[in-house]
Amino acid sequence: MTSEHQGVRLRPATAGDAEAVTRVFLDSRAAAMPWLPRIHSDADTLAWITHVVLPTSTAVWVAEAAGEAGESGEVLGFAALAGRDELDHLYLRPDALRRGIGSRLLAEVRGAVDGPVHLYVFQRNAAARAFYERHGFSAVAFDDGGRNEENEPDVLYRWTPRR
């Protein structure tokens, strides 16, 4: 299902979005977390997005600038749901921040999950932590970084819908 608001359209991702999603992922991480080590090359990241994230996630949505007459526009961000309740990725292009796009992608994820949603965020990623806390997520566990390949301490967040 596709939804459009203020010139930005949300839609399910397709295999053809792999390059644009990879560029959003790389650019977002470089801008928001310059301290994070680069573990993989751009080509390896594209292969991972192409062969793992897009085909094996429960759902992946892209936010794109609405094109002319229903045509696809530039991908501004994406979100990926893993399993039945884990927000595995939510990234925006650095020039697409503070426009409500992340909130809309998060709403799509919440709408696709029947119950609580959980996610991990690096402890040093203060902007992401503030975003999720503004959206009702609570930190429930802190990790030493042993669970991610960057070995960067992270936080497990959980959001529970009000019934």
CA-CA distances (angstroms) from residue 63 to 12, 68, 92? Answer: 9, 15, 9
Average pLDDT, the chain: 93
pLDDT grade for 7, boundaries at 50, 70 and 90 = confident
Query: What pLDDT, on the 0 to 100 scale, is given for residue 49?
Result: 98
For 75-125, write each residue's pLDDT tens digit: 999 999 999 999 999 999 999 999 999 999 999 999 999 999 999 999 999
3-state secondary structure of 4: strand
Q: Are 158 and 116 in contact (CB under 8 A)?
A: yes
* pLDDT > 70? residue 71: no
* pLDDT > 70? residue 59: yes
What percentage of the chain reaches a pLDDT higher than 90?
89
The pLDDT of 57-63, averaged and rounded, is 97
Q: Are 120 and 140 in contact (CB under 8 A)?
A: no
Pairing between strand 86-92 and 59-65?
A: unpaired
Name the CATH architecture for the domain at 3-114.
Answer: 3-Layer(aba) Sandwich (3.40)
* pLDDT > 70? residue 12: yes
For 28-57, write each residue's pLDDT tens digit: 999 999 999 999 999 999 999 999 999 999
Q: Phi then psi for 58, rounded to 5 degrees? A: -60, -40
Residue extents of the structural domains in the chain: 3-114
